[in-house]
Every structure is written in C-alpha cells, then in structure tokens.
Amino acid sequence: MLVLVVITALAFDFTNGFHDTGNAMATSIATGALPPRVAVAISGVLNFVGAFLSLAVAATIASGLVDTKVVTLTVVAAGLAGGIIWNLVTWLFGIPSSSSHALIGGVIGSVIAAAGGSGVLWHGLVSKVVLPAVLSPIIAAGVAAAGTWLLYRISRSMTEGARKHGFRIGQIGSACMVSLAHGTNDAQKTMGVITLALIANGTLAAKSNAPIWVIVCCALAISIGTYLGGWRVIRTLGKGLVEIEAPQGMAAESASAAVILLSSSFGYSLSTTHVATGSIIGTGLGKRGAEVRWGVAGRMATAWVFTLPSAGLVGAGAFGLAHGIGGTIGVIVDLILLALLGGFIYYRSRGSKVDPSNVNAEWTGSVAPTKTPAEPAAV
C-alpha cells in the first residue's frame, strides 16, 4: 500500500514537471534564446539540483496544512489522484494552472471526505497557500514591470541587434534560475506528500523532515517530467499571453525566480505557475505599446480559482470510492481508473499535437496551431 502511494506521488511529481516546464522555459523558447529541446534539458537538470536546495516547503505540506492524525494512506492516495487528474485535464487544454493547488486541493478534499472539515488546518491553508496565491502574481507582475521598464530604459541607445543578442544570453541565465527555483518549490510538494504518507504509515514520526531517498526520487521524477516538456503549456505562456522580446523575457524570468526563491525559503508553497504568469503579464505592462491578451489571462485566472475546489472534489470522490470498496483493493481501483483516464487524455491530445516543431508557430487563438509547419524552425 505504501509503495502504491509513493508511486502515485512520483507520478504526480512527473506531471508537475511537464506541466511546469513552461514556467521557466516558455519565454526563452518564444524569443529563440534557446532551442526547445536544449531548453527543457537544462531545465530538467536544474530542477533536480533545486530539489535539494531547500526543504521549507516540504515541511509546510507535510505538517502545516492537515492534521496528520487523520491522514491515512488511502487519504493520501485519493488526494494524489485528484491532483493528477486536474493536472492532466488542464494540460490538455493548455491552461497553465497551478500543480501545487491541484495537489493541495486533492489532499484537502480527501481529508474532508475522510474526517470532515476539522481535519484541515484552515489557518495554515489560508496563510500559507491561499493568500500567497493571491499576492504572489501581483508582486511578480510589479517586479517584472519595474524590471522591464529599467531594461528598456538602460538599453535604449543600444542597437537593436546588440540588444537582442545580449539579452538572449541574460535570458538563458535567468531561465536557469527559474528552473532552480521551481525545483525548490515544486519538487518539495511531492516530498511533503510522501513524507505525509510515511507519517501516516507510522514509518516516520510526526513533524519529520523528508528522508534522503524521498528527496532523490522526487528530484528525479520532476526532472524527467520537465525534460519531456509540456509543449502545450509552453505555447500558451510563450505565445498566447503577450508577444515577448528578449529583454522582457529576461525581466519576467528574473522576477519569477526572485519571488519564488524568496517565498520558498519562507515556506510558502506558492504556485510557480501563478508567479510566472504574473511576471509575463507584468512585462507586458512595463513596456509601452505591448499588448496583453487579457482574454487569455482571464481564462487562466478562472482556471486558477477553480483548481483548489475541483481538485478537492475529485480527491473527495476518489476517497469515497476507495473507502467504499475498502483497503488496498480500493486504492488499486482508484489507481486503475486514474491510469485509464490518463491514457484517454493522452490519446485525445494526439489529435491536436503540440511539440518542439510547432511550439512557436503564430498564435491563432487556440492552443494547437492550425497548420503544423506554420513557420520554418527559427534557431
């Protein structure tokens, strides 16, 4: 049973990785600073390193959100199922919703189904998850807008070509920092959940830190997921929201990296996705004449609001099912359903494929480009 839960958690971590590659690398890919495949490879490696950097967020998830006394392995498994399903569905539509909220929502939903509202530490939830979720994109947008304005101001007398060349190099550096930051924040969440499962199983004492093998497995899962790349989300972030130039890309990434790293070290499990989106919008605001596609932004914000409750409902449903059947069999039934659904979503996604060859095609209002080889590969 414990093994099943750990595998499910690592599967979540994997979806987390490929869902979130875009946060770090979308702007570099969109501006042509890095070839798509190289970008995701670098990002994967840095996610791995970042996972070891700080354990503050894992601690928040493991002991700050739900009462560890009511958590059983079934609860954790059901919560993970909720998180994974929401991640896959939003990925299908190319919406960069928060993997963190999907996970937290799923776990909280299944805790409520198992033990009622008293099993949730509401204060921890609001102060460490909900408020940061609202504030972080605003802060990131402000920082990115300030950065964009400064960069254009300082570089305005440079030639266009020199500016593009120079900031592309800077962008690679800042994108690497975002990947690192993503590892410190997002890989932590799965570590937190596995730690929670170990505590529930009695393997670890309450309030323990994540053991080293958990850290290594999570770091691996997230970096493999990152490497495989969520091309659909990359496309929405890089092309759909604002048309991005190299200096804007660098400003957006620096802002994201700074905000995520700072918040991680305070133990706030904020959403890398929200921060990256906030930053990209910020660069649109910081440059005169740039156009922000508020329609796309609005669609994302809607998905954000729904993420916690929807993943929660799925988590609660998964718990109900597993609990109804009972024991290990119940969890296995849950996981089989999950695998079937995952397969179905993968199958659906083949119909409108987004991959390295068409990720940068002109934005025509939908996630999948209408004509596949819309433009020659610009490297």
Partner residues linked to 242 by β-bridges: 292
Identify which range of 19-27, 104-112, 254-262, 345-353 contacts another protein by CB under 8 A: 254-262
Whether the CA torsion 103, 37, 140, 94 is positive or negative: it is: negative
List C-alpha distances in Å: 311 to 79, 87, 117, 304, 341.
8, 9, 16, 11, 15
- The DSSP-derived string for 219-264 is HHHHHHHHHH--HHHHHIIIIISB---HHHHHHHHHHHHHHHHHHH
Least distance CB 177 / another protein (angstroms): 7
Site size for another protein, by CB under 8 A? 53
Read off φ and ψ for residue 50, nearest 5 degrees: -60, -30
**Taking CB under 8 A as the rule, does residue 146 contact another protein?**
yes
Least distance CB 184 / another protein (angstroms): 7
Of 221, 255, 354, whose CA–CA distance to 27 is shortest?
Answer: 255
The nearer residue to another protein, 14 or 167, going by C-beta atoms, is 167
The Cα–Cα gap between 122 and 117 comes to 9
The nearer residue to another protein, 150 or 329, going by C-beta atoms, is 150
Of 112, 96, 98, whose CA–CA distance to 26 is shortest?
Answer: 96
Q: Where are the alpha helices (DSSP H) in 32-72?
A: 36-51, 56-63
Identify which range of 10-18, 243-251, 325-333, 338-346 contacts another protein by CB under 8 A: 243-251
**Taking CB under 8 A as the rule, does residue 162 contact another protein?**
yes
Identify which range of 37-45, 78-86, 153-161, 219-227 contacts another protein by CB under 8 A: 153-161
Least distance CB 52 / another protein (angstroms): 9
Identify which range of 99-107, 256-264, 314-322, 361-369 contacts another protein by CB under 8 A: 256-264
Residues 215/219/225/231 CA torsion (nearest 10 deg): 130
**Taking CB under 8 A as the rule, does residue 144 contact another protein?**
yes
**The pair of three-digit structure tokens given for residue 330, joined into one six-digit string:** 């119940």
**Taking CB under 8 A as the rule, does residue 56 contact another protein?**
yes
**Taking CB under 8 A as the rule, does residue 250 contact another protein?**
yes
R_g of the chain computed on alpha carbons? 20
The nearer residue to another protein, 8 or 136, going by C-beta atoms, is 136
- Considering only residues 180 to 209 of the shown chain, the ones binding another protein according to CB under 8 A are 180, 184, 209
Of 75, 14, 62, whose CA–CA distance to 224 is shortest?
Answer: 14
Least distance CB 180 / another protein (angstroms): 7
The nearer residue to another protein, 180 or 241, going by C-beta atoms, is 180
Whether the CA torsion 16, 109, 104, 200 is positive or negative: it is: negative
Identify which range of 28-36, 74-82, 134-142, 359-367 contacts another protein by CB under 8 A: 134-142
- Considering only residues 76 to 105 of the shown chain, the ones binding another protein according to CB under 8 A are none
Of 298, 253, 285, 366, whose CA–CA distance to 26 is shortest?
Answer: 253
Burial status of residue 326 (CB atoms within 10 A of its CB: 0-12, 13-18, 19 or more): exposed
Least distance CB 362 / another protein (angstroms): 22
Identify which range of 24-32, 99-107, 249-257, 335-343 contacts another protein by CB under 8 A: 249-257
Partner residues linked to 66 by β-bridges: 120
Exactly one of 42, 222, 237, 259 binds another protein (CB under 8 A); that residue is 259
Least distance CB 209 / another protein (angstroms): 6
**Taking CB under 8 A as the rule, does residue 321 contact another protein?**
no
**Taking CB under 8 A as the rule, does residue 154 contact another protein?**
yes
The nearer residue to another protein, 105 or 147, going by C-beta atoms, is 147
- Considering only residues 211 to 240 of the shown chain, the ones binding another protein according to CB under 8 A are none
Residues 211/216/222/223 CA torsion (nearest 10 deg): 160
Q: Tokens 């660069």 identify what position? A: 283
- Which residues would be at the binding site for another protein (CB under 8 A)? 53-56, 123, 126-127, 131, 135, 139-140, 142-144, 146-147, 150-151, 154-155, 157-167, 170, 174, 177, 180, 184, 209, 247, 250-251, 254-259, 261-266, 268
